[in-house]
Each structure stands twice: as C-alpha cells, then as structure tokens.
Amino acid sequence: MQPAQEGGPLPRWVVLGYSAVLALTAGFVNAVAILLLAFPVANVTAATTQLGMNTANPWLYEGHLLGAIIFGFLVGAAIAGAVLAPTQAQAGMRHAALLFCEATLLGLAAAGLEDTPVRTLLSTLGLEQPILQAVCAATALGMQNGLTSSFRGMAVRTTHFTGTITDLGLMIGRSRQHGLEKWKVTVLSVTFVLFLTGGVIGLLVGSRLGGWSLVIPMVTCLAVAAGCVVHSRSRGAERDDAVAESVPA
C-alpha cells in the first residue's frame, strides 16, 4: 500500500529551519551526554568502534553501556519508521507524536541524571541508572534522525555527520561536471554548523545545570511538535475548504 499524501511539501525555508533546530538540539544532547555519561549518544559509529575495542580489552570501556546506546538508537529509528510509514508528509500529526515521544525520553533522561523521585525509583528497583539514561537519550535521537531521514527528496541527518560531510564532498567534486545543488548544500552545511553550535551550547549549559540542561532540548522538541500540529490542522482546513468549493451548490 502506498503511503498517504498529506498536503504538498513544506516550503524550503521551513525544511531548513526544521532541520536546523533539530540538529542544534541533537548537538546539545550529545554534548551533555558526553559531559555527564562520558559517551556520545548520537554517534553510533564511535560507540561501535569503542564496543569493538572493549571486546578486545574489556577493561577499556563499559561494553554494556555502549551496547545499550546502539540498541536504543536502533529502536528509536525503528519507531520512527513504523510511525511514518503510512505518510509522505514532511510535517504532521505523526511527526508531532514522534517529537513528543522524543521530548518525553529527554525529560526522563534529565530526571534520571539528577536527584529526583525518578532516580530514587530506579535505585529502589536496582536498575543501573547510566544505562537507562543513555538508552533514553539514544532512543530519542534515533527517533529524531529517523524522522528527518524520511523527508521526501532528501534525507537530512541531524544527529551525526559522516554522511553529511561525504555528501558535501561528493557535491563539490561533481560540481564542475554537474553543477552545484545549492539548496542541498545549504541544508547540509547549516545542519552541520548548527550541530556544532549545539555542542558548544550543550557543554556550557551542561557544566552549569547538569542533567537539568536536557530540559532545554525537551522544550524545543515540544515547540517543534506544536508547529507540526498547527501545520497538519491548517492543511486539513485547506482540504476541507477545497472539498466544499468543489461541491455544487
């Protein structure tokens, strides 16, 4: 069954802003995770390499934590794929639901990192806190990257940038023969710069607020989710008006 069409594609400036904000958020979360957990949650490549090194020398890293990060990212991307499979829209109620879930996971990670009832409950249950916090953050970012990678016409990665830098290099190398796709170059460049900026801000804020700093990307995700809801409802109203106009009086 073909995915449903839900309105036309978003304006380019909206896609750019959408992707940029989420890249900024991911950079922020990743910096806080490295600061407080000593491991990145957005870079599965690094986690996989460290897991391989840990297999050779179990004293190097916490292998179970690295495995949890990789598993969480995979689960997040799988959830995004399942939720977005029925639609080709770039923003809508399904996207809002994913962003709301991401915000919830970031909130749980924040509460687990600080002295809160959530952390007390985890201790009471005998659950290893760093693993659960890392899984929450990694699942959130896997979900986000799956969301933006599902854009029609251009997969936008907002949590890691090996592919982005590769794409930019290919475009530059091919530009003499095929010209430069300025729109794609702009999106890739802006998301890279914003991820880097998010890392700077995440370090500065995380060093002051600790785990509570994750409340900032949580609120950001909620704001973007609200934007998706507004977009979906406006599209729905436009379709209803179009149907009403097409019906003979």
The reply to whether 237 falls in a domain is: no
Residue range of the domain that includes 200: 12-232
- Predicted confidence (pLDDT) per residue in 162-186, tens digit: 888 998 999 999 888 888 888 889 9
The reply to whether 238 falls in a domain is: no
Task: Give me 15's structure tokens.
Answer: 């896609």
- Predicted confidence (pLDDT) per residue in 227-244, tens digit: 888 877 776 544 544 444
Task: Give me 109's structure tokens.
Answer: 């990670």
- Predicted confidence (pLDDT) per residue in 62-86, tens digit: 788 888 899 999 999 999 999 998 8
The reply to whether 3 falls in a domain is: no
- What pLDDT sits at residue 242? 45
Distances 228 to 118, 232, 238 between C-alpha atoms, Å: 30, 6, 15
The reply to whether 246 falls in a domain is: no
Q: Phi and psi dihedrals of 101, rounded to 5?
A: -65, -40
Mean of pLDDT values over 189-201: 95
The reply to whether 217 falls in a domain is: yes
Output 238 or 23, whichever has higher pLDDT.
23
CATH of residue 56: 1.20.1250
- How many domains, in total, are found in the chain? 1
Other Cβ atoms closer than 10 A to 50: 20
